[in-house]
Amino acid sequence: MRGNCEVHELIAPGRLRGVLELLAAEPGVWTPIAGGTEIMVAHAAGRLNLPKLVSLWGIGELRFINVNADSVAIGAGATFIDVRRHAELAESLPLLAKASSWIGSIANQSRATLGGNLVNGSPAADSSPALLVYDAEIELISVRGSRRIPYCEFHTGYKSNVLAKDELVYALHMQRRFARHKQYLRKVGTRRAMAISKVALAGTALVDSGVVSEIRVAAASLAAYPARLYKTEAAVLGKPITPETIAAAREALMGEAAPIDDIRSTAEYRKRVGANLVEEFLLELGREAAQP
Amino acid sequence: MSATAKTRIVGASVPRKEGIDKLVGRAVYVDDIEREGMWYGTTVRSTIPRGRIRSITCDPRIDWSEFTVVTAANVPGKNHIQLIVADQPCLADGAVNHCDEPIVLLAHADKHKLREAAAAVRIEYEPLPAVLSIEESERQDPIIWGDDNVFKSFLLEKGNVDGVWAQAAHIVEGEYRTGAQEHLYIENNGMIAEWSANDGLTVWGSLQCPYYVHKTLKAVFDLPDEKVRVIQTETGGAFGGKEDYPSTLASHAGLLAMKSGHTIKMVYDRMEDLAATTKRHPSRIRHRTALDKDGKLLAMEIDLATDGGAYSTLSSTVLSRATLHSCGPYVCPNIRVRSRAWATNMVPYGAFRGFGAPQAIFATERHMDEIAAQIGIDPVELRRRNFLHQGDQNATEQLMREPVMLDELLDRALAQSDYYARRERFTRENANSPVKRGLGLATFYHGSGFTGSGELYLNSLAGIDVTADNKVRVMVSNTEFGQGTNTILTQIAAEALGLAFSDISMAPPDTAVIPNSGPTVASRTSMVVGRLIQRASLQLLETLRNDGGLGANASRDEFFAACDRYRTAHGEVKSLCRYEAPPGIFWDDKTYHGEAYGAYAWAVYVAQVAVDTRDYSAEVEEFWTVQEVGRVLHPVMAKGQIEGGVAQGIGYALYERVVWQNGRMANNQMTNYIMPTAADVPPIHVIFEEIPFKFGGYGAKGIGELPHDGPAPAILNAIRDATGVSFNSIPLLPEDIFAVLAAREIQEEPAIK
Amino acid sequence: MSECFPSITMRVNGESCTVNVPPMKRLLDVLREDLHLTGAKEGCGEGECGSCSVRLDGELVNSCLIPVLQAQGAEIQTVEGLAANGVLHPLQECFLACGGAQCGICTPGMLMAAAQLLERNPNPSMAEIREGLAGNLCRCTGFMRIFESVLAAATQMQSPEADKAGHAR
């Protein structure tokens, strides 16, 4: 244990209002800590340079899953176990439940929160690809009120996002409109459990009258932050699934992906596997569309 | 006592002797111990792989008067770890030869102040060119050790290799590489030390070999036997990683204890343990093999090189075992093995389950499949044609006196895995599947006990005593670290004495109490030490019959009554035995000929592997092990040893890569050093055959290391079967498979534009 | 000095306890140092090995990743609380019979994970067992004996005799 617990202040206002007022009163001073599955690792490694922390754990106003007829709202404080256990959510947005089950292990899932996963902003964030292909909106909150933006606009660079100094992530919103969509998610990690993603690909798509009428493709670890692959989508949108469109999608992905070499994997591998995964997605899409 | 006689306790899966404590959280590991007034120690380590130390400056912002500071100058005796060649300093003195080499020790009561102080020690170096691989060391420029950078070399020759090539129908060459592997015991290294002028030095800690630590401490502190006391705490995994390193850590804790006057605890965290302690020797092994037209081996020429790291530590004995396991379980009349352990400026490598055999066997068994492919023979058939049998001689001209069951083991493994039918199915299915499946096998042996005259050199002493409250204690320096020492040795004593399993306990692993029965390594515990306990138990019965009034077929009460009478007359009831070599053993250390090992365990392993061409991953889907190991003393524990060894072997093959950056382990966190989880291990089938070995404890041979020898080659052979591509280097990660398969895909596919 | 620290009250293995420690002190360290419950171990400090696993409000957690302030008012179970009134839990019995523990260092966390699994899923499939234990690394066993131990315990806990041992199903 290389961190010194005595040099960190940690307070728990216990209510959302208390936290927001603190962030407004002293912007940039207090760092929110939810489940702690990232911050506490840095703490143990002696790399936690955050003297003041405010706990979001146990704030009921952040930990909710609301499902109504056509939309879902997931509070930023919802843990991944919460997501997995919510039957209706798992049924209407299965990629999220799948992604949740691939985060760390059960012990991590019971503490890691959706908000924490997004704000931590790792390019390998497990929940992000699914959120992106579900057209999620992210709701940010402060004493000044709340605002919703498309989640795909949340990340702006490596570990940077649009959160103002006094803002928290409040919730993720998605439409329940994917029942007919082909849905795809695959994570490639170092092993089957407790693996940081080397590359992950998510996809949702509709085929109507033999052509792709709607498509979203998003990836982790193919850029500085989890992102939609717009050129890859464009290569397929409005076209039938053929070897040519698949090849075009592969080429588009290899062109727009910008992964790096790091301790876990290589850029070349990530690009190539990304292309293989989009091919697998499209092949499945094509096969299922061809069925009567 | 016949090795095949029916037994009550030996051969039964009795409850683990220390099991309950482990299950209720009562087992005491070194970091669970807190003492009044305890201080903590930390180590300041080299940040470069090679250089001279120009200065050590303690930043004046720290009040150093609160701290104990120790350097090489404070070593009272010899500043060297006493292993085989005493070249490894306890603390660096003027120069460093590897990253994370210990230089300065600090102690304080407050762990946080200790960390701050460690960061305030500034060391200036004059860097020197570092040697970071076998190839760089072979250039012999710079010379970093001895005259030629060679820790040890062997030349093992039989017959006349050079005369064969011209007539051989086939000559096959190959080069095989294995990488470093980390033990990843879940309990990090740790020690507690106490010093007093009266009693000397006492250490408690996580370790395998109390007397190895004892030997080093005597030298480092210049103390006689009785002033050094080493006590093992419950040890959370070792696998060889706590064979020699604890001597260094105990010395460090002891130096701080001596200078500070306080009890000192030093427990590494995972990052430090990963970066600074020993790992498995990397290897590069080249084979050149001559065969006749029927695929029978005519000659094997092998060049075997290991990377020993900066100090020799155990490199010579690892090289020895690698050399002696490099020719496989085959008959070959002409052999030349030239092996060398090279010095580099890497963190010193050390013992790890298998101890050179996994490296050697990886190369040999991969090479057999390469031979099979090149000459067009079924790899199963190739092995069969060359197997050793009883009456044959192996590479060192050792006569196989005991039966060798390789044919039967192979038949069983093929049947269990439904080998041919599965392969046929996979060949069909692979054509239209993005997942390619294959089966691969490895056939091998593992020598039990120390090599050659090693056991005679160890001269182990072990036995039992009986206390006044009717407790029989097994007295050995062999330790428990999960593999079952406590259980099997007490089983043997209970069996031989005719008592209940609950009557026997282990004497505390404390050098003040136990004799030196040798280290807990080399798969020797059940065979060599078990035999000593068996003999000592029978010896005690005989003594009591002659001189304690014990009758034949005595009851338990009569036994203890006889002990009481004997104790009254003689003061104690103790029976110790010294190691005796089996008869007719000869071994020549110079030519490396003769009986290399007293006994061999034999095995055939089969792996089924799936290679996914979308993410280039290889996963083991199922694994079969069939082995002949002498008498199985405890079926559940024996199974556990095989399964655990196979899981480590799978890690060795497919997951566990050490990422080095300029001689330092860059991925020194569990999140980045990848071992298989419960979700990754395949079903592992375990079948035992037993040919009791007359000179082992109740017929036992060694079992601990065997299972780590077979998985890697079986798995890479399966990958070849699945993909048609030969991979000859481990660990084999998806990125490595990608590099080859993707290039082939580009060649094979017409360009789609 | 400890008066400056917040007061944290938890119920650990059924007993209420209060500590005054820095709020960022890890729950693992509080258990081991302040409450002298050394069953939970530190294997990695990163939440990767699971040897620090305990149950917090009924959920399996890695105690090395929890600042103790966030355990305020929590119900915590450690391995020391698994046996009831000196009677081994079926998982402990089965680990003993089936060889589920070798060196024992991963065992406390493994038992917590297995207890959670069986509580929520009394009849788990092999795949569910693997997933339930995937966060607990064992370097000794290769997991096979552990799987067998968990299956045996599941059978035992579902049998009519289970209630007699005083253990919750």
The reply to whether B5 falls in a domain is no
State residue C1's pLDDT score: 47
Tell me what the mean pLDDT of segment B534-549 comes to: 95
What is the ipTM score, two decimals? 0.97
B489 shares a domain with B439: no
| Cβ-nearest to A276 among B615, B655, B678 | B615
Residue B4's pLDDT band (cuts 50, 70, 90): low
With CB atoms and an 8 Å threshold, state whether B647 touches C43. Answer: no
B464 shares a domain with B429: no
With CB atoms and an 8 Å threshold, state whether B678 touches A193. Answer: yes
Q: Does A37 touch chain C (CB under 8 A)?
A: yes
State residue B584's pLDDT score: 78
| Cβ-nearest to C141 among B643, B669, B683 | B643
Average pLDDT, chain B: 96
Which residues partner with A218 through β-bridges?
Answer: A202, A228
B480 shares a domain with B345: no
Tell me the shortest Cα–Cα distance from B487 to chain C, in angstroms: 11
Say if residue B219's pLDDT is above 90.
Answer: yes
State residue B742's pLDDT score: 83
- What percentage of chain B carries pLDDT values higher than 70? 98
State residue C150's pLDDT score: 98
pLDDT in tens, A43-97: 999 999 999 999 999 999 999 999 999 999 999 999 999 999 999 999 999 999 9
Instruction: Confirm if B223 and B213 have CB atoms less than 8 A apart.
Output: no
State residue B744's pLDDT score: 82
Say if residue B323's pLDDT is above 70.
Answer: yes
B502 shares a domain with B425: no
Question: Which residues of chain A are at the B interface, by a Cβ-Cβ cutoff of 8 Å?
Answer: 1-2, 4, 6, 41, 44-46, 105, 188, 190-196, 198, 243-244, 247, 263-266, 268-269, 272-273, 276-277, 279-280
**Strand B334-343 to B297-309 pairing:** parallel
Domain ranges of chain A: 5-55, 65-175, 182-290
From chain A, the residues in CB contact with B735 under 8 A are: 265-266, 269
Of B548, B578, B608, the position where a domain reaches its end is: B578
With CB atoms and an 8 Å threshold, state whether A105 touches C50. Answer: yes
Tell me the shortest Cα–Cα distance from A180 to chain C, in angstroms: 29
H or E element, residue A234: helix A230-234
The reply to whether B277 falls in a domain is no
pLDDT in tens, A215-254: 999 999 999 999 999 999 999 999 999 999 999 999 999 9
Say if residue C165's pLDDT is above 60.
Answer: no
From chain C, the residues in CB contact with A40 under 8 A are: 26, 47, 64-67
Tell me the shortest Cα–Cα distance from C70 to chain B, in angstroms: 23
- What distance in Å separates the CA atoms of residue B5 and residue B481, rounded to the nearest whole number? 30
Domain that holds residue B102: 33-128+190-266
Instruction: Confirm if B402 and B575 have CB atoms less than 8 A apart.
Output: no
Tell me what the mean pLDDT of segment C22-29 comes to: 98
Tell me what the mean pLDDT of segment B292-315 comes to: 98
Tell me what the mean pLDDT of segment A136-157 comes to: 98
B674 shares a domain with B622: yes
State residue C149's pLDDT score: 98
Say if residue C164's pLDDT is above 60.
Answer: no
From chain C, the residues in CB contact with B684 under 8 A are: 142, 144
> How much of chain A is in helix, strand and coil states, percent to nearest 5?
35, 25, 40
Tell me the shortest Cα–Cα distance from A208 to chain C, in angstroms: 37
Backbone angles phi, psi at B312, to 5 degrees: -70, -30
pLDDT in tens, B476-511: 999 999 999 999 999 999 999 999 999 999 999 999
CATH number, domain A5-55: 3.30.43
With CB atoms and an 8 Å threshold, state whether B738 touches A269. Answer: yes
Of B578, B599, B616, the position where a domain reaches its end is: B578
Say if residue B745's pLDDT is above 80.
Answer: no
State residue B51's pLDDT score: 98
With CB atoms and an 8 Å threshold, state whether B640 touches C106. Answer: no
B37 shares a domain with B23: no
B 2-31: CB under 8 A from C: 13, 15-16, 18-25, 27-29, 31
From chain C, the residues in CB contact with B20 under 8 A are: 88, 92, 96
pLDDT in tens, B344-390: 999 999 999 999 999 999 999 999 999 999 999 999 999 999 999 99
| Cβ-nearest to C61 among A6, A45, A111 | A111
Tell me the shortest Cα–Cα distance from C164 to chain A, in angstroms: 30
- What distance in Å separates the CA atoms of residue B515 and residue B533, rounded to the nearest whole number? 12
Say if residue B400's pLDDT is above 80.
Answer: yes
With CB atoms and an 8 Å threshold, state whether C46 touches A41. Answer: yes
Say if residue B638's pLDDT is above 80.
Answer: yes
pLDDT in tens, A99-146: 999 999 999 999 999 999 999 999 999 999 999 999 999 999 999 999
The reply to whether B150 falls in a domain is no
Of B205, B232, B266, the position where a domain reaches its end is: B266
Model confidence, pTM: 0.97
From chain B, the residues in CB contact with C139 under 8 A are: 183-186, 237, 239, 644, 648, 675
Domains of chain C: 2-81 (3.10.20.30), 90-164 (1.10.150.120)
Q: What is the CATH number of the domain that holds B682?
A: 3.30.365.10
Say if residue B585's pLDDT is above 90.
Answer: no
Tell me the shortest Cα–Cα distance from C34 to chain B, in angstroms: 11
Tell me what the mean pLDDT of segment B79-99 comes to: 96
With CB atoms and an 8 Å threshold, state whether A5 touches C72. Answer: no
Of B267 and B589, the one with more pLDDT? B267
pLDDT in tens, A4-58: 999 999 999 999 999 999 999 999 999 999 999 999 999 999 999 999 999 999 9
Classify burial at B683, counting beta carbons within 10 Å of its beta carbon; exposed 0-12, middle 13-18, buried 19 or more: middle
With CB atoms and an 8 Å threshold, state whether A264 touches B614. Answer: no
Residue of C nearest to B272 (CA): C44
B440 shares a domain with B291: yes
Residue of B116, B613, B657, B735 to mutate for A, most A C-beta atoms under 10 A: B735
Residue B583's pLDDT band (cuts 50, 70, 90): confident
pLDDT in tens, C58-90: 999 999 999 999 999 999 999 999 999 889 999
Say if residue B753's pLDDT is above 50.
Answer: no
Residue of A nearest to B674 (CA): A190
- What distance in Å separates the CA atoms of residue B284 and residue B342, rounded to the nearest whole number? 11
> How much of chain C is in helix, strand and coil states, percent to nearest 5?
45, 15, 40
B119 shares a domain with B253: yes
- The closest of B349, B279, B335, B328 to B303, measured between CA atoms, is B335
Q: Does A6 touch chain C (CB under 8 A)?
A: yes
Say if residue B452's pLDDT is above 90.
Answer: no
Q: Which fold has domain A182-290?
A: Enolase-like; domain 1 (3.30.390)
B635 shares a domain with B551: no
- What percentage of chain A carries pLDDT values higher than 70? 100
With CB atoms and an 8 Å threshold, state whether C47 touches A12. Answer: no
| Cβ-nearest to A36 among C46, C66, C134 | C66
Tell me the shortest Cα–Cα distance from A275 to chain C, in angstroms: 29
Q: Which chains touch A (3 or more CB pairs under 8 A)?
A: B, C
Tell me the shortest Cα–Cα distance from A104 to chain C, in angstroms: 7
Say if residue B615's pLDDT is above 60.
Answer: yes
Question: Which residues of chain B are at the A interface, by a Cβ-Cβ cutoff of 8 Å?
Answer: 111-112, 115, 269, 271, 434, 613-617, 655, 659, 666-667, 669, 671-672, 674, 676-680, 734-735, 738, 742, 752-753
Residue B582's pLDDT band (cuts 50, 70, 90): confident
- The closest of A185, A263, A195, A267 to A224, measured between CA atoms, is A267
Residue B257's pLDDT band (cuts 50, 70, 90): very high
- What distance in Å separates the CA atoms of residue B94 and residue B86, rounded to the nearest whole number? 17
With CB atoms and an 8 Å threshold, state whether C134 touches A193. Answer: yes
B336 shares a domain with B232: no
B221-229 contacts: CB < 8 A, separation 24 or more? B221/B76, B221/B77, B221/B254, B221/B258, B222/B76, B222/B77, B222/B78, B223/B77, B226/B200, B227/B199, B227/B200, B227/B201, B228/B200, B228/B201, B228/B202, B228/B511, B229/B199, B229/B200, B229/B201, B229/B202, B229/B203, B229/B510, B229/B511, B229/B512
Backbone angles phi, psi at B370, to 5 degrees: -65, -45
Class of domain A65-175: alpha beta
Residue of A nearest to C48 (CA): A194
Residue B552's pLDDT band (cuts 50, 70, 90): confident
B555 shares a domain with B624: no
With CB atoms and an 8 Å threshold, state whether C130 touches B13. Answer: no
Tell me what the mean pLDDT of segment B736-746 comes to: 88
Tell me what the mean pLDDT of segment B14-40 comes to: 98
Say if residue A292's pLDDT is above 90.
Answer: no
Residue of C42, C111, C144, C146 to mutate for B, most B C-beta atoms under 10 A: C144
Q: Does A142 touch chain C (CB under 8 A)?
A: no
State residue B748's pLDDT score: 58
Say if residue B2's pLDDT is above 80.
Answer: no
Instruction: Give chain B's domain count.
Output: 3
With CB atoms and an 8 Å threshold, state whether B614 touches A273. Answer: yes
Say if residue C163's pLDDT is above 60.
Answer: no
With CB atoms and an 8 Å threshold, state whether B237 touches C45. Answer: no
Say if residue C167's pLDDT is above 60.
Answer: no
- The closest of B447, B694, B465, B699 to B581, measured between CA atoms, is B694
From chain B, the residues in CB contact with C38 under 8 A are: 25, 28-29, 31-32
pLDDT in tens, C94-152: 999 999 999 999 999 999 999 999 999 999 999 999 999 999 999 999 999 999 999 99
Classify burial at B579, counting beta carbons within 10 Å of its beta carbon; exposed 0-12, middle 13-18, buried 19 or more: buried
State residue B743's pLDDT score: 84
B384 shares a domain with B251: no
Residue of B nearest to A242 (CA): B752
State residue B746's pLDDT score: 66
| Cβ-nearest to C105 among B236, B269, B640 | B236
- Count Cβ–Cβ pairs < 8 Å, chain A vs chain C: 102
**CA triplet B551, B553, B559: central angle to 5 degrees?**
60
The reply to whether B173 falls in a domain is no
